[in-house]
C-alpha cells in the first residue's frame, strides 16, 4: 500500500488556504496549510517530510521563490508547484530554473486544474521515490 503524500500549501490568502485544504483532502491527500512562509520553512525543516509544496510567489516577508530556493538547498524530493496572481513570468521562470514542477495562475480556472497539477506532482514524486529505492538496493535505474 502506497503511503499518503503530505502536501503543504503556503499562501497569505486565507480563502485560498481553506479552499485548497478542503479540495485536496477530498482527493485523499494529507494537506496542511501555512500563511507565513518563514513558519512554513521551519515546518519543512523540522517536521515530518513534505512531499508536495504549493506556494504562492508573492507574499509578505519572504516570497515563494525564496522559500522554494531554501527548500532546494535543504535537499529532498519535495515536488514544488508555484502559484501566482501576477503575470510575473520572470519569477515563474526563476522557479522553473530552481526545479519547480509546475505553476498555477490565480484565480484558478477550476479546482480540477489544481487537482490535475497536484496529481502530476504525485506521479513524479512516486517515480523519484522508486528510483531512489532501486538505487539504494543496488539495482540499475
Asked if residue 57 is part of any domain, the answer here is yes
Asked if residue 114 is part of any domain, the answer here is yes
Rg for the chain, CA atoms, rounded: 15
The CA dihedral of 126, 27, 17, 49, to the nearest 10 degrees, is: -30
Asked if residue 1 is part of any domain, the answer here is no
The pLDDT tens digits of the residues spanning 28-48 come to 899 999 999 999 999 888 888
Closest by CA to 81, choosing from 29, 117, 128, is 117
* Number of structural domains the chain divides into: 1
Asked if residue 141 is part of any domain, the answer here is no
Asked if residue 44 is part of any domain, the answer here is yes
Residue 78 in contact with residue 44, Cβ under 8 Å? yes
Quote the domain boundaries for residue 52.
Answer: 6-136
Sheet holding 6-10, edge to edge: 30-34, 6-10, 52-56, 79-84, 102-105
CA–CA dist 141, 135 (Å, integer)? 6
Q: What are phi and psi of 31, to 5 degrees?
A: -115, 120
What end-to-end distance do the CA atoms of the chain give, in Å? 22
The pLDDT tens digits of the residues spanning 91-132 come to 677 777 767 778 888 889 899 999 999 999 999 999 988 888
**In sequence order, what are the beta bridge partners of 103?**
82
What is the SS3 string spanning 88-104? CHHHHHHHHHHCCCEEE
Quote the cell numbers at residue 140: 540499475
Q: In the predicted model, is pLDDT for residue 141 greater than 60? A: no
Asked if residue 124 is part of any domain, the answer here is yes
How wide is the angle at C-alpha 114 spanned by C-alphas 112 and 118, nearest 5°? Answer: 115
The pLDDT tens digits of the residues spanning 56-79 come to 988 888 888 888 778 777 666 788
Q: What is the CATH number for 66? A: 3.40.50.2300
- pTM, full prediction: 0.86
Amino acid at each position: 500500500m502506497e503511503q499518503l503524500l503530505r502536501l503543504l500549501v503556503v499562501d497569505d490568502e486565507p480563502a485560498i488556504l481553506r479552499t485548497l485544504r478542503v479540495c485536496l483532502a477530498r482527493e485523499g491527500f494529507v494537506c496542511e496549510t501555512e500563511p507565513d512562509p518563514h513558519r512554513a520553512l521551519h515546518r519543512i525543516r523540522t517536521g515530518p517530510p513534505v512531499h508536495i509544496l504549493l506556494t504562492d510567489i508573492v507574499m509578505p516577508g519572504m516570497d515563494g521563490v525564496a522559500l522554494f530556493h531554501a527548500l532546494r538547498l535543504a535537499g529532498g524530493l519535495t515536488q514544488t508547484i508555484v502559484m501566482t496572481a501576477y503575470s510575473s513570468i520572470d519569477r515563474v521562470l526563476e522557479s522553473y530554473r530552481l526545479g519547480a514542477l509546475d505553476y498555477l495562475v490565480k484565480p484558478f480556472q477550476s479546482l480540477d486544474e489544481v487537482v490535475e497539477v497536484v496529481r502530476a506532482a504525485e506521479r513524479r514524486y512516486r517515480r523519484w521515490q522508486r528510483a531512489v529505492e532501486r538505487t539504494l538496493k543496488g539495482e540499475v535505474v
